[in-house]
Homo-oligomer: A and B are copies of this chain.
């Protein structure tokens, strides 16, 4: 599949074109070779500079690299997103690099479902490394990371108390931590906080993988070789533990399938609303003659009847 075809398929997924689904199904069955790395962290943490450095290193190895950047749903951060993309522009003429933003317009399930399809397309298209970068800060972006086998969380010394700044759920899904802009004051403290939280988590859910915490300065390349080595180590760990890797893969697939089913249901509800099927019920609930639970039960019965 050439780049033009890849880009066209991704656009169709992004726009919610359901007719592309059969193609994606076939492509999924051809995939499974790409190494997919998720990169998350608060705005301004230096994720894009870091991605730029990763691209350079993977390209030096002769690997073909695709980057998918999930843009936040809010229209108010458009500027930052554009700025981030510009930083990677030096790779734009490299045919071994594919850069693509993905708008997070849709619903929760919608974004994760669409991202899964985009990853399947890039995987089947033969890209060796896929870097999935989230630009936003919402729970949506955390959820997306759940479908990725290697997740890098980027923090900053400036994030202050790491205990507060690590978003709920983010710690649980990350496999590698980078404290970027490590030349700033407080980097060691953030790294220590992260290590404490990881130790706390490990006591609850250890599966054998020990999450490394790295100090990086993406802007001058410091710590980037170590970061690439840590990502390699994550995949080597999964290769060396095939049972665990498969169990994790199946957990990811199950979450993904659950969201796809939810999407089907939501489409069914939306159709019902559009056809006026819910108008009387909503009026009854607003009048407190009916209640939300009873209406939900009725709808569920109708859908599953």
Contacts and interface: CB of A to CB of B under 8 A. Distances in A.
B168 A261 contact: no
A77 interface: yes
Contacts of A26: 291
- Copies of this subunit: 2
A219 interface: no
Given A261-B299, A262-B265, A265-B265, A138 B253 contact: no
Interface stretch (A94-102, A178-186, A282-290): A282-290
Interface in A260-279: 260-266, 268-269, 273, 278
A166 B137 CA distance: 10
Interface centre among A172, A263, A296 (most CB of B within 10 A): A296
A171 interface: yes
Dominant SS at the A interface? helix
Contacts of A304: 268, 303-304
Nearest to A285: B253
A295 interface: yes
11 contacts: A29-B290, A43-B164, A73-B169, A77-B163, A138-B138, A138-B168, A246-B286, A253-B292, A261-B265, A261-B296, A262-B266
Interface of A: 21, 24-26, 28-32, 43-44, 72-74, 76-77, 79-80, 108, 116, 120, 136-140, 142, 163-164, 166-169, 171-172, 197, 200, 246, 249-250, 253-254, 256-258, 260-266, 268-269, 273, 278, 281-283, 285-286, 288-297, 299-300, 303-304
Contacts of A266: 258, 262
Contacts of A250: 282-283, 285-286
A278 B250 CA distance: 10
Given A77-B163, A77-B168, A137-B168, A29 B289 contact: yes
A251 B33 CA distance: 45
Contacts of A285: 250, 253, 257
**Closest 3 pairs between A and B when the two form their complex, measured CB to CB:** A139-B139, A260-B296, A74-B168
Given A163-B76, A168-B72, A200-B76, A28 B260 contact: no
